[in-house]
């Protein structure tokens, strides 16, 4: 359902820890206009030794082409693999993007009461933004949106031209999220002078660039800055509680309409805080709003950048499989993907970029402070989504280290303070007896790769080891458990029977061993299974990676491997045997 607020010019108090302002997705309306800036931008990577020429020479002050050669670069996209230049593929440092646009007259000086806002859907990793040479904002972290009110700059002159410059740095340090480290190679008998490499401890390629749409949009000077919606139901009544944050004036009146999918108004409200009641609501499928929580079967899906064709293909593949959920491993996915999950009834474990936290320096105060901000930004963006079932604050951190106790206690408490309505977890691969973060989670999420990274090739030990894993965690914590990763690499087209590692047969065999244990435990405390991974994906180069990670049940080109058919069979059987999980599409999105 859609909640529409119309504003005639009252403030908000919140039970949850209040966030500073909102990050509503920009949509055109009677009072807002939108201009997409996607397409070709001018681009230059700063290959100078210190990567600082752009700042020394102030490239943002005049058109980028005037300070040196530029190339065409699409936005949204990663810049790494679009040219034939191997040095750009593995580039670390500052890159510069620029776009020149003309603004409509209605947005300019005489436009009374119009705010002009520049919004970047996400840019990885650190961004500084100038408009017409004036810095308007900076932002740390990829995968989440940020914006700046640029009214004063574009409305200050008489010119309609607006030049947007974005300097972007993809360098990862022990304090970034995800963390990384820069290693200088000082042995001049082996490396040229000044040679350095970017090291990371996560298993995906550090693609960088402006990954999601950049837009300009307008609002009136008194405007709705944020909306927070929580839902509940009792008997045949659905309750929608809302809080609306209005900025720009304290004198206004507010009226709200709650509409169902076809646009019919089903409830109306007045004022910035209130409750709307809906008789006979169609509850959102499949999990949170049902009396008996169902068994969740998942697979993990990766989403870097925004690509409409790929999004639709992936969602079609999810439906073909009969899958009902995924985790946003290992960073927040595009808002456009999340919109479709809301609409299609796909449940999402919304994960922040807390991945590769393997070193003690990743648990210091600076990392912690930034991690808290990232959770705020993520919740601000996704809090109203019916699809989001749980927040995940990290993947496979070194949670056996002692500083992890305070670290995760703090991050999880903060997350719950901001959103008291959802469970919080992180995904662990630590030993149950030494995990200092697990005491604070609501659901235990465990990754394991029996007969792959341990006992390679020994399918016969999977059942015993998996059973021990579940029993140990459950005995220790008595919390619900999700198997958040399991699987094996297979190279599409590679066959061997009896199954050998890397063949399609071996991948299938691993899954079947795991499934037989899931089928015993799901009658009890195991509430979900997530195959790793939905599709093959690119990683850093390593002797264990053949043009990337091959644990996909689909290839990178989205063709099914034999394992996809095993899962399809399983997911539809699970769906059909459950009275509460219906493999149909239901719309109840707010
Ligand atoms: C897990 C990680 C995941 C990796 C996977 C693997 O969470 O990112 O891709 O293992 O090794 O440790 O395939």
* 259, 279, 299 - which closes a domain: 279
Can you list the positions of beta strands (E) in 288-406?
Answer: 296-299, 325-327, 347-351, 388-395
Tell whether 272 and 144 lie within a shared domain.
no
Residue 26 has pLDDT above 50, yes or no: yes
Residue 13 has pLDDT above 50, yes or no: no
Choosing from 200, 201, 203 the residue with most ligand 1 atoms within 8 A of its CB, the one to mutate for a pocket test is: 203
Q: How far apart are CA 27 and CA 18, in angstroms?
A: 24
Model pLDDT for residues 425-467, shown as the tens digit of each residue: 999 999 999 999 999 999 999 999 999 999 999 999 999 999 9
- 94 — pLDDT class (breaks 50, 70, 90): very high
Q: Which atom of ligand 1 is nearest to the CA of 453?
A: 11
Number of domains present in the structure of the chain: 3
3-state SS, residue 510: helix
Structure tokens at 66: 């005037």
- 159 — pLDDT class (breaks 50, 70, 90): confident
Model pLDDT for residues 332-354, shown as the tens digit of each residue: 999 999 999 998 888 999 999 99
CATH code at position 353: 3.20.20.80
Question: What percentage of the chain has pLDDT greater than the value 70?
Answer: 90
Residue 385 has pLDDT above 60, yes or no: yes
Average pLDDT over residues 551-559: 95
Tell whether 104 and 239 lie within a shared domain.
no
Write down the mean pLDDT value for the chain.
91
pLDDT of residue 10: 29
Inside any domain, residue 78: yes
Tell whether 310 and 272 lie within a shared domain.
no
Q: How far is the centre of ligand 1, averaged over its atoms, from the C-alpha of 18 (Å)? A: 35
Residue 299 has pLDDT above 70, yes or no: no
Q: How far is the centre of ligand 1, averaged over its atoms, from the C-alpha of 357 (Å)? A: 13
CATH code at position 152: 2.60.120.260
Tell whether 446 and 548 lie within a shared domain.
yes
Structure tokens at 178: 């995800």
**Could you tell me if the CB of 452 is within 6 A of ligand 1?**
no
* 182, 212, 242 - which closes a domain: 212
Tell whether 348 and 239 lie within a shared domain.
no
Give 298 or 10, the one with higher predicted confidence.
298
pLDDT of residue 18: 57
Residue 291 has pLDDT above 50, yes or no: no
396 counts as catalytic: yes
Among 98, 335, 376, 396, the one annotated catalytic: 396
Average pLDDT over residues 361-365: 98
Tell whether 364 and 243 lie within a shared domain.
no
Q: How far is the centre of ligand 1, averaged over its atoms, from the C-alpha of 203 (Å)? A: 6
Tell whether 370 and 311 lie within a shared domain.
yes
Give 533 or 6, the one with higher predicted confidence.
533
Q: How far apart are CA 369 and CA 397, in angstroms?
A: 17
Tell whether 252 and 313 lie within a shared domain.
no
Average pLDDT over residues 136-148: 97
**Could you tell me if the CB of 551 is within 6 A of ligand 1?**
yes
pLDDT of residue 111: 63
CATH code at position 253: 2.60.40.10
Q: How far is the centre of ligand 1, averaged over its atoms, from the C-alpha of 35 (Å)? A: 39
**Could you tell me if the CB of 396 is within 6 A of ligand 1?**
yes
Average pLDDT over residues 382-390: 95
Comparing CA positions, the residue from 261, 238, 240, 233 lying closest to residue 586 is 261
**Could you tell me if the CB of 395 is within 6 A of ligand 1?**
yes
Range of the domain at 236: 2-20+220-279
Q: How far apart are CA 144 and CA 23, in angstroms?
A: 10
Tell whether 164 and 241 lie within a shared domain.
no
Cβ proximity of 566 and 572 under 8 Å: no
Which pairing describes strands 296-299 and 526-531: parallel, antiparallel, or unpaired? parallel
Using CA positions, which residue lies closest to atom 4 of ligand 1? 203
**Could you tell me if the CB of 300 is within 6 A of ligand 1?**
no
Residue 108 has pLDDT above 70, yes or no: yes
Using CA positions, which residue lies closest to atom 8 of ligand 1? 203
pLDDT of residue 15: 45
Inside any domain, residue 587: no
Cβ proximity of 315 and 535 under 8 Å: no
Tell whether 331 and 418 lie within a shared domain.
yes
pLDDT of residue 296: 61
Tell whether 336 and 455 lie within a shared domain.
yes
Cβ proximity of 533 and 299 under 8 Å: yes
pLDDT of residue 1: 54
Average pLDDT over residues 366-384: 98
Token pair 């066959």 is found at: 495
Residue 318 has pLDDT above 70, yes or no: yes
- What pTM does this model have? 0.94
Inside any domain, residue 187: no
Q: How far is the centre of ligand 1, averaged over its atoms, from the C-alpha of 582 (Å)? A: 31
From 135-139, 314-318, 374-378, 488-492, the region with the lowest mean pLDDT: 314-318
Tell whether 126 and 146 lie within a shared domain.
yes
Inside any domain, residue 193: no
Q: Which atom of ligand 1 is nearest to the CA of 330?
A: 8
């Amino acid at each position: 359902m859609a909640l529409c607020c119309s504003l005639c010019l009252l403030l908000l108090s919140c039970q949850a820890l209040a966030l500073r302002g909102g990050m509503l997705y920009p949509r055109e309306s009677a009072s807002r206009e939108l201009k997409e800036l996607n397409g070709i931008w001018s681009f230059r990577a700063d290959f100078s030794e210190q990567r600082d020429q752009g700042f020394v020479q102030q490239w943002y002050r005049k058109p980028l082409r005037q300070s040196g050669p530029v190339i065409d670069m699409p936005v949204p996209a990663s810049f790494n693999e679009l040219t034939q230049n191997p040095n750009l593929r593995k580039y670390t440092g500052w890159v510069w993007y620029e776009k020149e646009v003309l603004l409509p007259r209605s947005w300019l000086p005489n436009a009374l009461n119009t705010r002009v806002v520049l919004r970047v859907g996400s840019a990885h990793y650190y961004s500084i933004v100038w408009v017409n040479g004036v810095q308007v904002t900076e932002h740390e972290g990829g995968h989440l949106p940020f914006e700046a009110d640029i009214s004063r700059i574009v409305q200050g002159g008489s010119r309609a031209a607006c030049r947007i410059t974005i300097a972007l740095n993809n360098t990862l340090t022990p304090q970034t999220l995800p963390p990384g480290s820069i290693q200088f190679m000082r042995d001049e008998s082996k490396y040229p002078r000044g040679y350095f490499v970017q090291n990371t401890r996560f298993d995906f390629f550090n693609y960088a660039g402006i990954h999601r749409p950049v837009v300009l949009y307008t609002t009136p000077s008194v405007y709705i800055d944020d909306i927070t919606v929580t839902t509940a139901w009792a008997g045949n009544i659905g309750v929608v509680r809302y809080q609306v944050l209005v900025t720009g004036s304290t004198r206004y009146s507010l009226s709200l309409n709650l509409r169902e999918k076809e646009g019919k108004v089903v409830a109306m409200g007045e004022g910035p805080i209130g409750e709307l009641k809906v008789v006979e609501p169609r509850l959102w499928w499949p999990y949170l709003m049902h009396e008996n929580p169902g068994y969740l079967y998942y697979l993990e899906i990766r989403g870097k950048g925004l690509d409409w064709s790929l999004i639709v293909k992936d969602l079609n593949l999810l439906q073909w499989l009969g899958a009902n959920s995924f985790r946003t491993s290992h960073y927040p996915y595009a808002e456009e993907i999340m919109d479709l999950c809301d609409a299609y009834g796909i449940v999402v474990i919304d994960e922040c970029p807390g991945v590769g936290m393997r070193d003690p320096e990743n648990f210091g105060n600076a990392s912690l402070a930034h991690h808290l901000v990232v959770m705020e930004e993520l919740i601000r963006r996704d809090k109203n989504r019916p699809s989001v079932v749980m927040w995940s604050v990290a993947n496979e951190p070194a949670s056996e280290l002692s500083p992890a106790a305070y670290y995760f206690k703090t991050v999880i408490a903060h997350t719950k303070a901001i959103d008291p309505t959802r469970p919080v977890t992180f995904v662990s691969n630590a030993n149950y007896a030494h995990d200092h973060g697990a005491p604070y989670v609501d659901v235990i999420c465990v990754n394991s790769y029996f007969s792959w990274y341990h006992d390679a090739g020994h399918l016969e030990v999977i059942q015993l080891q998996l059973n021990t894993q579940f029993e140990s965690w459950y005995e220790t914590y008595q919390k619900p458990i999700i198997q958040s990763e399991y699987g094996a690499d297979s190279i599409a087209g590679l066959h061997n029977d009896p199954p050998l590692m890397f063949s399609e047969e071996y991948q299938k065999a691993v899954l079947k061993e795991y499934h037989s244990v899931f089928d015993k435990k799901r009658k009890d405390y195991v509430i979900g299974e997530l195959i790793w991974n939905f599709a093959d994906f690119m990683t850093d180069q390593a002797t264990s990676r053949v043009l990337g990670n091959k644990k996909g049940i689909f290839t990178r080109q989205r063709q099914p491997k034999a394992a996809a058919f095993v899962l399809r069979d399983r997911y539809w059987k699970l769906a059909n045997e459950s009275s509460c999980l219906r493999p149909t599409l239901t719309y109840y999105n707010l």
